[in-house]
Amino acid sequence: MSDQSVKNGDSFDGKRCGYVAIVGRPNVGKSTLLNHILGMKLSITSRKPQTTRHQILGVKTTGDIQTVYVDTPGIHQRRSTAINKYMNRAATSILNDVDVILFVVQAKQWTEEDQAIIGKFKSVSCPVLLVVNKMDMLDNKKELLPLIEELSSKFEFSEIIPASALNGINIDVLEQKIAPLLPENTHFYPENQITDRSMRFLASEIIREKLIRELGQELPYTSTVNIDKYDEDETIVRIHATIYVESRGQKAIIIGKKGARLKSIGTKAREDISVLVDSKVYLNLWVKVREGWSNDERALRGLGYSE
């Protein structure tokens, strides 16, 4: 990524542009943070850990400053199935390729997984900013100073910023700290471009979000969504999508009594996709069983999990 930052002259007319990785363990609020910064729902979020599965770029251009955020899957230490490995790789592979790292943690919930991620920063040369998220959950604001002191002993962070991604607390401060750390550069993306991902991809993510939210703990972790067909004309976007699960039991759970669950997932997904594409949407959803896909490298690639 940084090879794009090669100077092509002496002056960039005050323009800055660079990559900012958003990393951390699952469920700390990385995607919520990106969405708040962009002022739109680009990256899916949920109460369930390991919601984000792929890197996703969110581009924000304000005057001379263009910041290219990279939301990543939560780095975890769970059982090492192929999909878990894929997600960890998607998160850690970019650490040496960005200009700034935002390390997101949850206030007062430092874990071994956080500690393990710190280990990965030893070999990076760019600044690491610590975002202590979910500050709104602290009972007493007096807890803040000792907390920051404790966290500052863990690594040489360039900044420690207490924030709430959900309520937008201190996010403007965070953005102000990032801007001067970006290299002088021409902008990589047109001013109005928000992501590198296709509508097709974003639609599949929205369906996955509704699945996660609708099923909560019941959701088989091993489910994924494939867009089989995506057609648009002036009046409507038509999408045919398949939810893949690993057993007939999982399929029955998702479909629900008389198809009620699948219908609800479909309705909610259609509403969100419609906002995103700014058009009427027809969504046809299927559920299919594909045994062992989450631990099968070839099946994973077929379902879009490729680097």
Ligand X SMILES: Nc1nc2c(ncn2[C@@H]2O[C@H](COP(=O)(O)OP(=O)(O)OP(=O)(O)O)[C@@H](O)[C@H]2O)c(=O)[nH]1
Nearest-angstrom CA–CA distance, 225 and 245: 9
Phi/psi for 26 (5° steps) reads: -60, 145
Instruction: From 184, 288, 301, 188, select the one nearest 245 (Cα to Cα).
Output: 288
Give the 3-state secondary structure of residue 189. Answer: coil
* Measured CA angle at 229 (ends 192, 266), to 5 deg: 85
> Residues 6 or more apart from 223 whose CB is under 8 A from it?
208, 211, 243, 244, 245, 246, 250, 254
Q: How many residues bind ligand X (CB under 6 A)?
A: 24
| Binding of residue 32 to ligand X (CB under 6 A) | yes
Q: Which partner in ligand X, Mg ion, none is near 133 (CB below 5 to 8 A by kind)? A: ligand X
Among 18, 26, 58, 162, binds ligand X (CB under 6 A): 26
Measured from the Cβ of residue 258, the count of other Cβ atoms closer than 10 Å reads 8
Residue list 72-101, contact with ligand X (CB under 6 A): 73-74
Smallest distance, ligand X to C-beta of residue 207, A: 16
Residue 47 binds which of Mg ion, ligand X, none (CB < 5-8 A, kind-dependent): ligand X
Q: What is the dihedral of CA 96, 41, 209, 242, to 10 degrees?
A: -90
Under rule CB under 6 A, residue 58 binds ligand X? no
Q: Which stretch binds Mg ion (CB under 5 A): 45-53, 115-123, 135-143, 187-195?
A: 45-53
The reply on whether position 31 binds Mg ion by CB under 5 A is: yes
Burial class (CB in 10 A: 0-12, 13-18, 19+), 142: exposed
Q: According to the binding rule CB under 6 A, does residue 185 interact with ligand X? A: no
Q: Which of the residues 52 through 91 are near Mg ion (CB under 5 A)? A: 52
Q: Decide: 37 and 169 in contact? Cβ < 8 Å.
A: no
Which amino acid, 245? V
Tell me: does residue 46 bind Mg ion (CB under 5 A). Answer: no
The nearer residue to ligand X, 46 or 222, going by C-beta atoms, is: 46
Q: Pick the stretch among 22-30, 150-158, 258-266, 296-304 that binds Mg ion (CB under 5 A).
A: 22-30
The stretch among 51-59, 126-134, 173-181, 279-287 that binds Mg ion (CB under 5 A) is 51-59
Footprint of Mg ion (CB under 5 A): 30-31, 51-52
Footprint of ligand X (CB under 6 A): 24, 26-32, 45-47, 49-52, 73-74, 133-134, 136-137, 164-166
